[in-house]
Chain A
Amino acid sequence: MKSRWILIALVAMAAMLFSACTAAPAAPAAEGEAAAPAEAGEAVTLDTVFSTEPPSLDPSLGSDTQSVWAVRQMFMGLTGFNEAAEVVPSLATEWSVSEDGLTWTYKMRDDVNWVKRDADTGEFEDLGPVTAGDVVFAVGRTLDPVEASPYASMLYMIEGAEEFNAADPAAENFEEMRAAVGVTALDDTTVEFKLKKPTGYFPAITGLWITFPQYAPAVEEHAEQWTEPGNIVTNGPYTLETWQHGAYMRYVKNPLWFDAANVQIEVIQGPIIESESTAMSMYEANEIDMMADPGWSPPLPDMDRIKADAALSEELLIAPRTCTYYYGFVNAKPPFDNPLVRKAFAAAVDRQSLIDNLLKGEQVPAHSFVSPGNFGNAAGDMDIAPWMVMEDYAAQLDQARAWLAEAGYPEGEGLDVLLMYNTSEAHAQVAQAVQAMWSEAFPQATVSVENQEWQVYLNTLLPDAPLEEKPHIYRLGWCADFPDAANWLIGVFRSNSDQNYAMFNSPEFDALVDEADSISDPARREELYKQAEQILVDDVTAIAPLYYYTYVRLYKPWMTNIVISPVTGDPIHEWTIDTAAKAAARQ
């Protein structure tokens, strides 16, 4: 008989569970509520999603879009970037460089204060002005090998920086090496950087989040937990209120910020949603106000519908972005050690058709590596590789065939080419389209495509990996860390770069970019970068740039005054929301 009672108990439990599961569909009263999660008070709120959990909110440690976006909302650095990706004053009001180009001096404003939001009471505490010492502390922390910042190498042009970052923390002279890093506070509002070689683009480096000042007492007191709500001390327009790891984030306006009177949006909040199509559904249900960083762009499969839809097409905003998508040739691997073969394959891609039929984001066909928006880009200079982006694609194709025939492979006879990309639906589509274009252009050639998982892929491509395992052609993109051609040409294709997967080696190119690196005259630097591009893309054709990226975004009509920064981290404090329109739409 005992078993009967167990059975009854089980059935009862099951019934409870069942009613729990099915009770919800029976509740009809919840329509409006479902679309609009409860809001706290009347605060002007920007509802968004976050595409992933930020790996770190620590300015020294962030390296991905999500982290950098957050750091830029919460912190102010010496310099910043405007809409055209030019360096503009931020925390620093002015800066100057010594005659020899080795010493940079920044004067800082004195009215930006550190604030901390009390997690229990919600009160903001003023912790005094941001000083030059806070910048020195932050730079030292980024370079500290114990902190292991992934972006530390960006600061290696500072005197003593590379040595300190590569030092063994157990070494006896470790503290001396820390002190030898060439950044000093001359007084509370003056900070001086000593460099080991002249670096014309240094003001862009001080706009990188890894140099943003940090409040030492908070870091020392809470160690790795200092970026949690209630611990974090910030100096920017917003600060962190809630961080439910993996689930939800909420930033609130810093009322003590020096320019707080001009900040309209008081709250930025949203769940972490890793599916872009789910985010799109939320956007269409008016649950979120935008499809943009830190969330998702509209999904590719929805683009045709968005463009055809009267309302959605009005909400679509396409803006330039400092990234380039390219196919690299492994220059050392036959037959791609022949420039004519590389040129032929680079020319036999109909970039405009790729954009119109596949990518659909109004990307721009590329004929140079450095994308528009970067200092020293040659995207507007049609002297560089015009044969990649001809109006008349048939003529371009003829040229490609002629080159391949000249190289000894008429119609691609005898060619067996492997194109590799990292596993992803979007890259697969591009690869298949390009494969078809090549097969059509060179009917005798065999073009195969292969994909590898990301980490494996990058290891295959590393310059010192075995040549026989490498493909002939690989896919990659590059996005600016800071908007200057130095980050592109030196960072990727200088002969000694770790990222030089093309194994491109030209002493002439190296000399040009080195010279550009060492001077600060903008006109001369631009000229040198153009010459370098000429070699890389046109003369040698180490790579085939395909297109310059764009930001594709959707903003609800009540989002006004949108300012987009081509570098990560839009200035949301400059945006405004028509709250009445938003409330009406959410009814």
Chain B
Amino acid sequence: MLTVFSMMRALPGGPFDFEGDKSLAKAVTDNLERRHHLDWSESWQFVSYVLGDDVAGAVCETIPSIPGCDKVLDGYKAGVSRGVIRGDLGMAMRQRGRTINGIIGESFPVSLQLGLMAIGFGLLTGIPLGTIAALKQNTTIDYAASFFAVLGLSVPSLVLGPVLIWIFALKLGWFPVSTWGAQPPFFLGFIPAPTKDFFMHAALPVTALGLALTASIARLTRASLLQVIGEDYIRTARAKGLPQSTLIVRHALRNSLIPVVTILGPLTASVVTGSFVTEFVFGIPGMGKHFITSINNRDYSMISGVTLVYALLLVIANMIVDIMYAWLDPRIKFE
């Protein structure tokens, strides 16, 4: 957090140097910076960001001799942040009167819906595809599946999205061109009402985002399954006379999923915090764009906010992955 916080402030250019093409008058920039406490020293900004303005103010009230306290005493009552520690990510700098909590709160559920559906799509198409390819190794089916996997990986969603729109929305007219079909409030904060409208809108973006996942999951499944099938315990199981289906599903596939699950952790975190490209192409009001625009705008609080959410999700996803390991492979045990 400290790294992001100081790194972005080291970038040339601040959030209020320019408005569009035009540089701002000194007094105007000063006013804007004062409003967001950017006139404070960096360490006090950090204190305010993490602990809250009132804490910074209270410290300075008590010991006004700490360097930088004069600015803090001038401005802390205006209140910008209650502190990350109390769950407040601060005020957006480029959108007046909006909190980061508010912005993430309305965009994250949408990204989560899109991301989870895409992961579901990827798993449900990728694993069977990989399994079939492995079982029919070096046959036409295998080559076709591998070809599809390479294709899925190499066609970026920036290309796939518009192609899907062109075929299915413009030429065939089956689906709407863009936008997202679900609106808050959501059940449990992220589950939308399963209306037809929602699925109609979701079909194309989920496919666009999911196909790349399908491809990588299929490739991994295939490679890993091929390796597992060659192991001794599979031969033993086969010698015991287990039917092929049980053998593959219960014994081979389960173990071969470990690499898949491993990549699934970081993959989930990145997909559910928003795919910039897919959301951009399909006009979906998700979180992905904030990663890009906030940096271009030098919107410090937004950069910190989205980075924190992303980090948090990464930790959670990796934790779930670790738990899955133990279930998939009994040799892995938690101490």
Contacts and interface: CB of A to CB of B under 8 A. Distances in A.
B21 A145 contact: no
Contacts of A162: 27
B34 A277 contact: no
Given A34-B176, A247-B180, A277-B162, A455 B13 contact: yes
B115 to A, nearest CB: 12
B206 interface: yes
Interface stretch (A50-58, A106-114, A505-513): A50-58
Interface in B180-215: 180, 183, 194, 196, 199-200, 202-203, 206-207, 210
Interface string A427-464: 00000000000000000000000000111101100100
B120 interface: yes
B97 A285 contact: no
Contact of B21 (A34, A156, A273, A477): A477
Nearest to A154: B25
Contact of B280 (A30, A146, A274): A274
A34 B175 contact: yes
Contact of A21 (B17, B25, B202): B202
B176 A37 contact: yes
Nearest to A169: B34
Contacts of B95: 53, 55-56
A179 B134 CA distance: 81
Given A55-B94, A278-B281, A271 B178 contact: yes
Contacts of B102: 245
Interface string B102-129: 1100110010000011001101100000
B285 interface: yes
A14 B120 contact: yes
Question: Which of A21, A165, A225, A478 has the largest number of chain B CB atoms within 10 A?
Answer: A21
A454 B179 contact: no
A148 B35 contact: yes
Interface string A53-66: 10110100101100
Contacts of B84: none
A439 B120 CA distance: 54
Interface string B1-24: 000000000011100111111111
Nearest to A168: B74
Contacts of A149: 28, 31
Contact of A478 (B21, B27, B28, B96): B21
B13 A498 contact: no
Contacts, number: 209
A285 B285 CA distance: 21
B136 interface: no
A94 interface: no
B27 A166 contact: yes
Contacts of A138: none
A510 to B, nearest CB: 18
B169 interface: yes
B173 A35 contact: yes
Contacts of A454: 18, 296
A272 B283 contact: yes
A170 interface: yes
A282 B22 contact: no
A20 interface: yes
Given A281-B170, A285-B169, A246 B285 contact: yes
Contact of A30 (B21, B25, B103, B200): B200
Contacts of A453: 296
A153 interface: yes
B251 interface: no
B165 interface: yes
B158 to A, nearest CB: 10
A274 B27 contact: no
A459 B12 contact: yes
B289 to A, nearest CB: 7
A3 B329 CA distance: 11
B55 interface: no
A165 B179 CA distance: 42
A480 B96 CA distance: 24
B128 to A, nearest CB: 10
B17 A458 contact: yes
B131 to A, nearest CB: 14
B173 A285 contact: yes
A458 B23 contact: yes
A169 B295 CA distance: 30
B98 A63 contact: no
Contacts of B31: 145-149, 152, 165
A281 B177 contact: yes
Nearest to A18: B124
Contacts of B116: 17
Interface in A159-202: 162, 165-166, 169-170
Contacts of A145: 27, 30-31, 34
Contacts of B124: 14-15, 17-18, 21
B209 to A, nearest CB: 11
A275 interface: yes
Contact of B23 (A35, A55, A498): A498
Contacts of A169: 34
A278 B165 contact: yes
A356 to B, nearest CB: 26
Nearest to B35: A148
Contacts of B34: 145, 148, 169
B143 interface: no
A110 to B, nearest CB: 32
Contacts of A316: none
Nearest to B91: A224
A6 interface: yes
Contacts of A223: 97
B283 A271 contact: yes
A7 B32 CA distance: 56
Contacts of A27: 196, 199-200
B13 A456 contact: yes
Nearest to A65: B20
Interface in B115-159: 116-117, 120-121, 123-124
Contact of A49 (B123, B282, B283): B283
A538 to B, nearest CB: 24
A212 to B, nearest CB: 16
B298 interface: yes
Nearest to B199: A24
A49 to B, nearest CB: 7
Interface string B248-283: 000000000000000000000000000000001111
A30 B202 contact: no
A20 B121 CA distance: 10
Contacts of A30: 174-175, 196, 200
A153 B17 CA distance: 14
14 contacts: A17-B117, A18-B121, A27-B199, A30-B175, A151-B19, A152-B25, A245-B285, A247-B183, A272-B283, A273-B178, A273-B179, A278-B280, A455-B296, A458-B17
Given A20-B194, A30-B174, A281-B166, 11 more contacts: A17-B120, A20-B120, A21-B120, A152-B25, A244-B285, A247-B180, A272-B285, A273-B178, A275-B280, A285-B169, A455-B11
Nearest 8 A/B pairs, CB to CB = A224-B97, A455-B13, A247-B285, A153-B25, A166-B27, A148-B31, A17-B120, A273-B283
